[in-house]
Structures are given as structure tokens and as C-alpha cells.
Chains A and B, each alone.
Chain A
């Protein structure tokens, strides 16, 4: 069985501040890990993913995430928040032999001017 826990349903940062969105997962097989972003009234868009290899993954819009197997974590970061980053962010896990994704409950990021 797989599961994803996102700590904090709402995160608020000031423009220019560090963004840190937390994700922990459980998986019985080596995981594939994803971060998706959802802007209001839109579908989900892939930010980045980890499959194998380098544990620090860079994505679009300046986001990156680090896979830490020992901590079963895949936290999302961005050094400097921009107003356009305000959205809902979802962490998801899959694995070899699995077809579909298991999503976390989401974190809504608010960016204050």
C-alpha cells in the first residue's frame, strides 16, 4: 500500500521568502515521486518528478525537491516566492508495477505582498 502525507493544508509566505512544502510518503516498492501544481479552476500540471538517479530534482518555475529515502520525504522548495506561485500543490507517489498515482491532500500556498 502507498500513502502520502502533506504537512500543512495552508502555508503563507511573503513575496521573496523561502517556500517549503512538506511531503512524506510510504511505499512498499521503490517509489516514483511527483509534485503537481493546480491553479484556480484548472487541472493539475507537473512541477517535477523523481524516478531514479540524482536525488535533487529541479522542476519548472524555480522549484526543486530532494528525495530522502532515510526520511521517506520529498519536500518541495523554492528560494524566493513570487505572487504567481499562489496555488495548490499536490505530492503524489507511484511505483514500479503501479499504474496510478496516490495523492496527498494538498497544500494551498498563499503569497503575501
Chain B
């Protein structure tokens, strides 16, 4: 099992460019999440999907959109990148919410110039 995979690992964008971060899990989990990690701020939730076909905003959704393509895949799109979106992005999945362990991907390091 690969667990949670993310592509790309690194990306550099110019302000105003768009891109999609891809995430896939092979654990048959219902719930998937996108977080961003910034120094001194821990991980903050951008969007999550409790199940296939549903998505909900998290703490910092502005400037992002998501798509739960199927049960395995959950993508994060930046329509018009801004320097404030420079961060490390983590995708995670879990069987359900609440007490379930979340499994994290290796992260995508994004720099917006």
C-alpha cells in the first residue's frame, strides 16, 4: 500500500498562475483533507471532504477550490496564486472524522514569487 500520495513534491509559481495539487489514497478511506503548514502556525485546515461527493470549507479556504473526484482522489486548486499561498501543503485521509487517525501524505512545497 502506498498510503497517501501527493504530486508534485515541489512547485514554483509566479503570482497569478494557477495549478492543481493532486492527492490520492489507497486505504478506502471516506474522509480526506487539505492542510497548509506555515512556520509557527501548525497545520491549518483548508478544505475537507467527509465522503465522496461532499466538500466543506475549513479554517483558511480563501483562494482555494477543491474537487473530490472519486473516493480515492481529492485535488486542491489555486486559481490565481499569491505570495501568501507560499506554504507546504499536506493531504490526509481517515476512515471517518472525530476519533479516527488521519494518515498524511509527504507534502507539496509551493513557492509563489
Supposing A43-B90, A44-B90, A90-B42 touch, asked if A100 and B104 sit within 8 A by C-beta, the answer is no
Known: A42-B106, A94-B97. A100 touches B45 (CB 8 A): yes
A105–B5 CA distance with the chains assembled, in angstroms: 24
B77 contacts the other chain (CB 8 A): no
Task: Give Cα A97–Cα B78 distance, bound, in whole angstroms.
Answer: 29
CA distance in complex: A45, B50 (Å) = 21
B12 in contact (CB, < 8 A) = no
Interface residue range, chain A: 20 to 34
Given A49-B99, A94-B97, A94-B98, A101-B45 contact (CB < 8 Å)? yes
B99 touches A32 (CB 8 A): yes
> Quick check: A43 and B104 within 8 Å, CB to CB?
yes
List B contacts of A106 (CB < 8 A). 40, 42
Contacting residues of chain B (55-113) with chain A, CB-CB under 8 angstroms: 56, 58, 90, 92, 97-99, 101-102, 104-107
Residue-by-residue, is A18-49 near B (CB-CB < 8 Å gives 1, otherwise 0)? 00000000000000101010000111111001
Q: Is the CB of A100 within 8 A of B97?
A: yes
In the complex the two chains form, what is the Cα distance from A106 to B102 in whole Å? 17
Q: With contacts A42-B106, A44-B104, A45-B104 known, is A96 near B42, CB below 8 A? A: no
B residues sitting closer than 8 Å to A (CB atoms) are 4, 31, 33, 35, 40-45, 48, 50, 56, 58, 90, 92, 97-99, 101-102, 104-107
Name 25 A/B residue pairs within 8 A (Cβ), A-sorted: A9-B40, A32-B99, A41-B107, A42-B107, A43-B4, A43-B104, A45-B104, A49-B99, A51-B99, A94-B98, A97-B98, A98-B97, A99-B48, A99-B56, A99-B98, A100-B33, A100-B58, A100-B97, A101-B43, A101-B45, A101-B102, A102-B45, A103-B35, A103-B44, A105-B42
